[in-house]
Amino acid sequence: MKLKLFAASLFVCLLASVVFAQQSKVVAIKAGRVLDVRTGQMIPNAFILIEGERITAVGANVTVPAGAEVIDLKTMTVLPGLIDSHTHLTFSPANAASSIRQSIPRQALIGARNANITLMAGFTTVRNVGAGGYSDIALRDAINAGDIPGPRIVASGPSLGITGGHCDDNYLPWEFHHKSDGVADGVEGVMAKTREVIKYGANVIKFCSTGGVLSLGDDPKHAEFTFEEMKTIVAEAHRLGRKVAAHAHGGEGLKQAVLAGVDSIEHGTYIDDEGIRLMKEKGTYLVPTIYLTDWFLENYPSLGLPPQIVTKAKEVMPAMKKNLTHAIQQGVPVAFGTDAAVYPHGLNAREFAVLVRMGLTPIQAIQTATVHASKLLDRADSIGAVEVGKYADLIAVEGDPTKDVTELERIKFVMKGGIVVKK
């Protein structure tokens, strides 16, 4: 009996020592250059030390401990993993008929595919703002459990919307008596719905304050929720520790959402000078989603969309570039977002070149997807920069993205949480 107890104790000690050795293993990345995204400066010939999931040292004079695993990126520029603040991982470009036929389990599996594609494109964190049946929350949890590869996900679950509005599903006729799972009306209704989506796991609340483009029966220029409904959503979400994103194309719906206290405006197509002033005063982030206009106007004939939607898109999308260029040049805070799913996932980084054409410098464009997006997602303590204590979420490119931001469309290396997922 004593021999068995001794053997068992010895096994536990050996197992503990193996686990400790794995946890204390040091990985050293030898980088040609490390980009300090806060200053825009390059640190040449730098080392990044990693233990477990976190960065423990960064700099040109870092001592690499004996026995460390060295990853040689001496010809590359290393920068933090990118953040996309507006994705729909469980959707892909498709015509209306095919989307109606997709079950929630099918959407979750589509999300698993798109999550991996997005991670391989260098986006180690995303905010997913709208998914059917809490499929994005299931996807987030599967990634966190290590079941499938993918980025860190800040998930909203269903988008809140009014009956018949942009966040309702208006393709089915009356006899189906169908409403989307985020639909709520009235102050009591939106309070209950906000609590409901939080109950089922939402990290962030997303609601539609105006009509949209890729939907029937609504107008992007018109407000949908009332101001009282918007204030209720924001107050309840903030009280329960969640930030709020508002789909808003413009007009009073956008301004009312800002005055209600939302943390970000998604799209902002018809933003005017008053909206710009309000957003700057309140520090409300604009998530502009611009590249989708280029892709959509080139590819819509293959999507099989209803003519009413195509007509709306042809009116809205040119106005989007004009007005958002003005807003960006006027200094509205910007966080990077793409609306990936309107166009194929994996093309997210094409947004950077569009932001530069609209007036940002390359480093300013990069900051929208790092320091600014991390703040919007309330994750500034753990992501968004190559700094001690943050997750070892790192990417590498061959050239210098502060001179040619399209380098970010050609990611050569991806690490998430200290684990290499692409090399």
Is residue 15 situated within a structural domain?
A: no
**pLDDT at residue 135, rounded to an integer:** 97
Instruction: Write out the H or E segment, with its range, that includes residue 221.
Output: none
Kindly write down the DSSP assignment for every residue of 169-214, as one continuous string.
--SS-GGG----TTB--HHHHHHHHHHHHHHTT-SEEEEESB--SS
76 and 103 assigned to the same domain:
no
User: Is residue 21 over pLDDT 50?
Assistant: no
Whether 95 and 60 map to the same domain: the answer is: no
Instruction: Answer for the pair 292, 320: CB distance below 8 angstroms, yes or no.
Output: no
Coil vs helix vs strand at 238: helix
Sequence-separated (6 or more) residues with CB below 8 Å from residue 221? 210, 211, 249, 250, 251, 270
Exposure of 277 in the CB half-sphere (CA atoms within 13 A): 3
Asked if residue 33 belongs to a domain, the reply is yes
1 occurs within a structural domain: no
| Structure-token pair, residue 67 | 């026995």
Lowest model confidence (mean pLDDT) among 66-80, 106-120, 219-233, 399-413: 219-233
Q: Is residue 61 located within the same domain as residue 93?
A: no
- Residues 109 and 153 placed together within one structural domain of the fold: yes
Q: In CATH, what number is assigned to the domain containing residue 368? A: 3.20.20.140
CATH number of the structural domain spanning residue 50: 2.30.40.10
* pLDDT score of 4 more than 70: no
| Structure confidence by residue, pLDDT tens digits, 333-383 | 999 999 999 999 999 999 999 999 999 999 999 999 999 999 999 999 999
Whole-number Å distance between alpha carbons of 229 and 381: 32
Q: Quick one: pLDDT band at residue 14, thresholds 50, 70, 90?
A: very low
The predicted pLDDT at position 178 comes to: 78
Q: What is the pLDDT of residues 84-134, one digit of tens each?
A: 999 999 998 865 556 677 899 999 999 999 999 999 999 999 999 999 999
Share of the chain above pLDDT 90, in %: 78
**Residue 154 in domain:** yes
Task: Decide if 67 is inside a domain.
Answer: yes
Q: Are residues 370 and 407 in the same domain?
A: no
Q: Is 389 within a domain?
A: yes
Strands, E assignment, 212-253: 243-250
Q: Do 347 and 408 sit in the same domain of this protein?
A: no
Angle at 391 between CA 390 and CA 395, to 5 degrees: 110
Answer for the pair 402, 366: CB distance below 8 angstroms, yes or no.
yes
pLDDT at 20: 42
Say what the alpha-carbon torsion angle 46, 51, 57, 61 is, to the nearest 10 degrees: -50
State the pLDDT at residue 23. Answer: 52
Say whether both 182 and 293 belong to one domain.
yes
Task: Note whether 364 and 418 are same-domain residues.
Answer: no
Q: Domain count of the chain?
A: 2
Residues 57 and 106 placed together within one structural domain of the fold: no
Range(s) of the domain holding residue 170: 82-376
Mean pLDDT of 18-37: 80
Based on the domain organization, do 93 and 225 belong to the same domain? yes
Q: 270 and 324 share a domain?
A: yes
Q: What is the mean pLDDT of residues 314-318?
A: 85
Look at residue 388 and tell me if it is in a domain. Answer: yes
Residue 364 and residue 413 in one domain: no
